[in-house]
């Protein structure tokens, strides 16, 4: 930690220990190991879930938290599109669909798309086939 802190200070990027957390990635077969990380007599807290570049990542990389959040956003978007549908042309609706629904759904899909929890997102597409 001292080497990292020195590097950050040298590059004018001081560490904010009040906002710093760490995440230990685990698998189903991993034994639970408690880690205590301290620096400068301050404890750095462990977290199990965080947002990183627009993706919600949890410590098991199951993507359940991200997919739950994504489902809520997509339901709200569907409700909005359904309510404005009678007032707009088909081309305007397609533009809104791509702007809102498609962009939200497809962001990061290469990471979370193969999760066993992802069928919740694709359920409506499966019903259409």
41-60: pLDDT as tens digits: 778 888 888 898 989 998 88
In terms of domains, do 38 and 81 share one?
Answer: no
Instruction: Going from the first residue of the chain to its last (129 residues), give the mean pLDDT of each consecutive group of 10, the final group possibly shorter.
Output: 79 82 80 74 83 88 89 88 90 89 87 84 54
| Domain co-membership, 106 together with 62 | yes
In a domain, 52, yes or no: no
Give the CA distances from residue 115 to residues 6, 42, 66, 83, 112, in Å, rounded to whole numbers and listed in that order: 39, 37, 11, 31, 5
Domain hosting 73: range is 57-128
- Answer yes or no: do 68 and 88 share one domain: yes
Q: Are residues 75 and 112 in the same domain?
A: yes
The per-residue pLDDT for 87 is 92
Residue 116, C-beta contacts closer than 8 angstroms, at least 6 positions apart? 62
> What was the pLDDT predicted at 122?
77
pLDDT at 31: 67
pLDDT of 47 reads 86
73 and 36 share one domain? no
Number of domains in the chain: 2
């Amino acid at each position: 930690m001292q080497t990292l802190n020195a590097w950050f200070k040298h590059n004018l990027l001081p560490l904010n220990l009040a906002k710093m957390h760490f995440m230990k990635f685990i698998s189903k077969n991993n034994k639970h190991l408690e880690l205590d990380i301290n620096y400068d007599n301050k404890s750095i807290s462990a977290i199990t879930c965080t947002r990183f570049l627009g993706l919600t990542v949890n410590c098991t990389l199951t993507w359940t938290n991200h997919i739950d959040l994504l489902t809520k956003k997509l339901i709200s978007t569907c409700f909005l599109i359904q309510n404005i549908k009678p007032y707009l042309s088909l081309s305007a609706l397609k533009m809104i669909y791509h702007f809102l629904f498609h962009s939200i759904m497809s962001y990061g899909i290469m990471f979370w798309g193969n999760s066993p929890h992802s069928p919740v997102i694709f359920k409506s597409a499966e019903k259409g086939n």
